[in-house]
């Protein structure tokens, strides 16, 4: 059963069981990026989420999916429609932190539950935390903190760092610097969606850096890596998973081989849930799952575990069930901190080639049972 069949089956099952905001079932509003340069990320979140729904066999979950086109104003319009007209109970799906900041505070203020499968801006982890907001992926700084810790342990002492100028990019460089103890030879915020990095690469070449740390998700990372390889600059790269994830690697090719990156998930994490997820995702969609797919899958299974206990209409009980996180994660051990963000291991991975497929393998734990730096400011 392919994706369109999964979505149709979920909708038909919901109708058959009378699932709606007024009935016994629940309605989930998924706003994610399905077109443009970041489409691969949203597609993977969607596919992972819908795979978990299909595997659960539940007939009480109606999922409404819309494309935000990576535009905050579009995301806000969709969210307003979902809340006011569609009467959704739970929202999810947003990839980009600037879109999350445009949608999430208003949604939770209106009593909706938001389960983030990706974006984790610092503003929603500290003083702006909310009891109805749960992040199933990370707080934005986390993978970058792990990269800083890795770079320090690897003996790098003079990093050049760059990221796009939007909330996640700002959190990225803050996180890296929090755990990195060396000097900086340069720090650049690029334009979100930028595709030409000739000027930045020229600065890197002249900087005297002994490594380059960059956060450029989606098509930005593909462009940078290809241009960096073509430039002949041989300064080692370090990055977070976003720039070396499964969907990106095939487009980048040999330019990514050997690069160390950080992630809370990989396909070789050794637990039964993860092994089954990798196998069934590949069988269903004809490709290896990405980090984003694993996060969509875990988000859906968190939701399902809460629904086994209570309905969103019983907000207190449903909230407690979400907080308990009583589901089998692809990551293994999973728990929320006081600010409803994960406490988890973050791994160092190396890009390798298995046959004709570029992928990652875990080479160590960069940070163990790691939370986030903003939890102390959350008053929950």
Is there a contact between 97 and 138 (Cβ–Cβ < 8 Å)? no
Q: Which two tokens stand for residue 159?
A: 């990093």
Q: Kindly tell me if the per-residue pLDDT of 157 is higher than 70.
A: yes
The rounded distance, in Å, linking the Cα atoms of 260 and 176 is 14
The pLDDT of residue 248 is: 85
68: confidence class by pLDDT, cuts 50, 70, 90 = very high
* Domain extent listing, the chain: 26-138+269-340, 141-263+346-376
> Is the pTM of the predicted complex or chain greater than 0.85?
yes
Q: Which two tokens stand for residue 324?
A: 């308990």
DSSP 86: S
Which pLDDT tens digit goes with each residue over 257-293? 999 999 999 999 999 999 999 999 999 999 999 999 9
The rounded distance, in Å, linking the Cα atoms of 308 and 313 is 14
Q: Which two tokens stand for residue 192?
A: 């979100």
State in Å, rounded, how far the first CA of the chain is from the last one: 42
Superfamily of domain 26-138+269-340: Response regulator (3.40.50.2300)
Which pLDDT tens digit goes with each residue over 338-379? 999 999 999 999 999 999 999 999 999 999 999 999 999 999
10 Å CB burial of residue 140 (0-12, 13-18, 19+) is buried
DSSP 1: -
The CB density around residue 155, as the number of other CB atoms within 10 Å, is: 9
Q: Which two tokens stand for residue 179?
A: 């755990």
The pLDDT of residue 243 is: 84
**Arithmetic mean of pLDDT, 86-107:** 97
The residue among 334, 340, 345, 353 whose CA lies nearest residue 273 is 334
The residue among 115, 135, 73, 77 whose CA lies nearest residue 98 is 73
Bridge-based pairing of strands 357-370 and 61-67 is unpaired
Which pLDDT tens digit goes with each residue over 116-151? 999 999 999 999 999 999 999 999 999 999 999 999
Superfamily of domain 141-263+346-376: Response regulator (3.40.50.2300)
Q: Kindly tell me if the per-residue pLDDT of 231 is higher than 70.
A: yes
16 backbone dihedrals φ, ψ, rounded to 5°: -65, -35
The pLDDT of residue 24 is: 67
Which pLDDT tens digit goes with each residue over 234-247? 999 999 998 898 88
The DSSP result for 63-82, as a single string, is EEEEE-TT-HHHHHHHHHHH
The pLDDT of residue 218 is: 82
Is there a contact between 37 and 193 (Cβ–Cβ < 8 Å)? yes
Q: What percent of the chain has pLDDT over 90?
A: 88
The DSSP result for 242-296, as a single string, is GGS-HHHHHHHGGGGTT-EEEES--TT--SHHHHHHHHHHHHHHSS---HHHHHH
Q: Do domains 26-138+269-340 and 141-263+346-376 have the same CATH topology?
A: yes
The rounded distance, in Å, linking the Cα atoms of 169 and 188 is 10
Is there a contact between 145 and 138 (Cβ–Cβ < 8 Å)? no
């Amino acid at each position: 059963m392919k994706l369109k069949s999964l979505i149709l089956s979920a909708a038909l099952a919901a109708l058959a069981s009378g699932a709606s905001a007024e009935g016994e079932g629940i309605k989930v509003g998924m706003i994610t990026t399905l077109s443009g340069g970041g489409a691969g990320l949203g597609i993977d979140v969607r596919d992972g989420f819908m795979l978990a729904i299909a595997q659960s066999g539940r007939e009480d979950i109606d999922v409404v999916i819309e494309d935000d086109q990576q535009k905050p104003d579009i995301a806000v319009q969709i969210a307003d429609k979902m809340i006011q007209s569609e009467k959704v109970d739970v929202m999810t799906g947003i990839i980009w932190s600037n879109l999350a900041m445009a949608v999430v505070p208003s949604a939770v203020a209106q009593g909706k539950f938001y389960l983030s499968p990706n974006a984790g801006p610092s503003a929603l982890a500290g003083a702006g935390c909310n009891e109805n907001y749960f992040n199933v992926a990370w707080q934005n700084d986390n993978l970058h903190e792990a990269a800083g810790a890795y770079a320090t342990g690897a003996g790098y002492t003079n990093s050049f760092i760059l990221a796009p100028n939007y909330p996640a990019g700002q959190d990225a460089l803050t996180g890296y610097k929090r755990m990195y103890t060396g000097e900086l030879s340069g720090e650049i915020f690029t334009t979100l969606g930028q595709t030409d990095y000739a000027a930045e690469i020229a600065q890197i070449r002249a900087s005297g850096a002994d490594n380059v740390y960059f956060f450029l998700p989606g098509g930005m990372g593909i462009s940078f890596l290809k241009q960096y390889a073509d430039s002949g600059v041989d300064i080692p790269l370090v990055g977070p998973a976003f720039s070396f994830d499964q969907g990106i690697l095939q487009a980048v090719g040999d330019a990514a081989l050997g690069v160390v990156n950080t992630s809370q998930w990989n396909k070789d994490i050794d637990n039964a849930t993860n092994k089954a997820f990798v196998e069934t995702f590949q069988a269903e969609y004809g490709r290896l799952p990405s980090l984003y797919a694993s996060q969509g899958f875990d988000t859906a299974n968190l939701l399902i575990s809460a629904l086994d206990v209570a309905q969103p209409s019983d907000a207190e009980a449903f909230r407690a069930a979400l907080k308990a996180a009583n589901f089998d994660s692809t990551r293994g051990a999973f728990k929320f901190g006081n600010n409803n963000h994960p406490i988890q291991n973050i791994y160092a991975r190396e890009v390798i080639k298995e046959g004709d497929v570029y992928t990652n393998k875990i080479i160590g734990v960069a940070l163990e049972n790691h939370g986030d730096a903003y939890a102390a400011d959350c008053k929950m």
